[in-house]
A = this chain, B = another copy of it.
Amino acid sequence: MRELDRIVKEIADEMRRRTDRGEVATYIPELACADQQAFGLAVVDTDGHIAAAGDSDTPFSIQSISKVFTLTLALGKVGDRLWQRVGREPSGSPFNSIVQLEFERGKPRNPFINAGAIAVTDTILSGHQPREVLGELLRFIQFLADDTSITIDEAVAASEQRTGFRNIALANYMKAFGVIENPADFTLGVYFHHCAIAMSCRQLAMAARFLAHSGRNPDTGLSVVSPERARRINAIMLMCGHYDGSGEFAYRVGLPGKSGVGGGILAIAPAKASIAVWSPGLDASGNSRLGRIALEMLTQRLGWSIFGV
């Protein structure tokens, strides 16, 4: 048994036993059904070897982790023009804050807070039909993960569409400033649906390999993005991937990462591995509590922090 497999297994075992699991998100009613006891972890290294443990094959709602893929797709479509609409600085505010938007005339701070991700979604939509764009996004993720079984959980999408009033507010607020160009309903429809994509830890870690390997799929050698763009997406993940808990994640884990309120976290160890972890209980900033702790143990034991050995 490889050391990586052993470490992944040990961490999963320890996480299973912990009782301080955080609170499952309830603001999207459908997410409240998630099993608080669930824990999954999957690591894909440079050789393509997958170390996985716990519920690593159970699909969960990736929620905001999807923003990494929509950002990648949007940069592919419009390049650096994207940054005219969205900034790249940490917001210092909770994920759904609207205050910064008023002070900065509708331009969201970064692509990983809700407002920014809605603006990125609007860029992809760009006059097309929501259904087409969603299809394209889903196929892109299936292609990255090399797994056509990945789908959108329509019940989660419908649940958020019924209750996502803050997101509706954010979209309309940006529309007042011209930052959203499509009908707000269309943009939000795509946004709610891509947040509702369901993936397992294994699928997620597979899909994000290109970020750990200079923009390429290490299996096929196919380039997804340029090495520079991969680095830059990683930089934005580190700075902004955990809302107002981003500093804490960098301080403790030391890897670029993106969390979702479904309890998943995607993390990238550049030139080493792509990692996905899932545990539905959240901390006060809305990030998976055990997920973050598991990643802290993993980087500690493997010496994978980008900030030094």
Contact = CB atoms under 8 A, between A and B. Distances in A.
Interface residues of A, number: 57
A277 interface: no
A92 B88 contact: no
A251 interface: yes
Contact of A307 (B87, B110, B248, B306): B306
Interface in A153-171: 165-166, 168-171
Nearest to A237: B307
A270 B254 CA distance: 12
Given A90-B90, A173-B169, A305 B250 contact: no
Among A109, A169, A211, the most chain B Cβ lie within 10 Å of the Cβ of A169
A214 interface: yes
Interface string A263-300: 00000001100000000000000000000000000000
B172 A247 contact: no
Interface string A82-106: 0000011111110001111111000
A57 to B, nearest CB: 28
A124 interface: no
A103 B98 CA distance: 10
A221 interface: no
A10 B81 CA distance: 31
Given A173-B98, A247-B236, A307 B90 contact: no
Interface of A: 87-93, 97-103, 109-110, 165-166, 168-173, 175-176, 184, 211-214, 227, 230-232, 234-236, 238-240, 244-248, 250-251, 254, 256, 270-271, 305-309
| Smallest CB-CB A-B distances: 6 pairs | A92-B92, A89-B247, A270-B308, A165-B176, A169-B173, A90-B90
